[in-house]
Structure 1
């Protein structure tokens, strides 16, 4: 009869993997290292996850859920003002980048580490970024931006740039100007917002 893993085993593995992946990059961490760090047997690890790719996918999926929960909260504070919600997304990204121990954006980093478009972790990361881009475009359209797609893409560039700059030049470098840059873009593309602000 197959032994059932202790309750919380999957959570313990994911928490350990998240810490190691965050510190060293997902690609650099081997399954044996996770076995040693958790103190669990290899068979227990492989009972929970079919392999490293499956573990990376689960990790990115969990980060996706957490990120959207936080982002939804930031957006909800400005219900009824889609232009302000756009700015709230950038404010949230800036705050996350400035206060996080992460080395840039996990979703962009995972995409860069796993270049095979069919890698499960990369697919999860790209899906998250696609969803963020679509949320920005939908808010821009609701706010009656002159070109919602263009505004969404420019804000994506601000967001990716602020994460890269926070990781390399520190939280007091160019990242400190990201919200101001986003505000300029929003005012340029949503004339009604510019006159109201």
Structure 2
């Protein structure tokens, strides 16, 4: 099993160090998402960022540290957007469900989207004991838990079933957008989710 991330990878930068660290991190985040976690090596990150390899290793002693930090960043970004959406629909769980699906659908259809970073990572790190797989599982468990909470609040007779349907639709749209393109089945995520929600929830 890979070693746990080094504490140094999470240490706040000292003055004068933050710019180099941010450049390395932003470059890795972009390359990993566009080209794959396994396909992009440390040398490629160094070359693209223009930062010395010793600087990269000062902050991220192993490539796994860098991958895990990138996944943490992706996770935080996703849930920040989720919370921003939730704040606009306080006390309106049905409307929030639809709104969450809308922004996810827009993200999937965006020009820069290359699927779900967590599903991509799961495919590239098949060892279930790898720390990356724990990050993936945490993200997906949180997605299901939040959807379940909304389904229950909205009055679904079988909230667990509806939540699982929505998880499958979301993940299927992410994966389908890569396999069949953004104009394939992924484009009907909103309509499919709307139909499932309308069927499962009491009529308004």
TM-score with structure 2 length normalisation? 0.87
Q: In the aligned structure 2, how far is the partner of 1:40 from the partner of 1:116?
A: 31
Instruction: Tell me the residue number matched to 1:117.
Output: 128
Instruction: Tell me the residue number matched to 2:151.
Output: 140
Count of residue pairs brought into register by the alignment: 191
How far apart are residue 187 of structure 1 and its match? 1.5
Unpaired stretches in structure 2, ≥5 consecutive residues:
1-13
Instruction: Tell me the residue number matched to 2:90.
Output: 79
Q: In the aligned structure 1, how far is the partner of 2:79 from the partner of 2:157?
A: 27
Unpaired stretches in structure 1, ≥5 consecutive residues:
none
Aligned to 1:8, the other structure's residue is in SS state: helix
Per-residue CA deviation, residues 111-132 of structure 1 (Å, 9 max, x unaligned), is 1111122322222122111111
1:106 is aligned to 2:117: yes
Counterparts of residues 5-24 of structure 1 (less than 5 Å):
6-24=17-35
Instruction: Tell me the residue number matched to 2:63.
Output: 52
Q: In the aligned structure 2, how far is the partner of 1:164 from the partner of 1:132?
A: 16
Aligned to 1:170, the other structure's residue is in SS state: coil
1:188 is aligned to 2:199: yes
Q: In the aligned structure 2, how far is the partner of 1:81 from the partner of 1:4?
A: 45
The structure 1 segments of at least 4 consecutive aligned residues displaced by more than 6 Å after TM superposition are none
How far apart are residue 52 of structure 1 and its match? 0.7
Per-residue CA deviation, residues 62-97 of structure 1 (Å, 9 max, x unaligned), is 011111111112222222111121122211111000
Instruction: Tell me the residue number matched to 1:68.
Output: 79
Aligned to 1:11, the other structure's residue is in SS state: helix
Instruction: Tell me the residue number matched to 1:25.
Output: 36
1:41 is aligned to 2:45: no
RMSD of aligned C-alpha atoms? 1.7
Check conservation: 2:105, 2:190, Cα contact below 8 A.
Answer: yes
Check conservation: 1:102, 1:167, Cα contact below 8 A.
Answer: no
TM-score with structure 1 length normalisation? 0.90
Aligned to 1:45, the other structure's residue is in SS state: helix
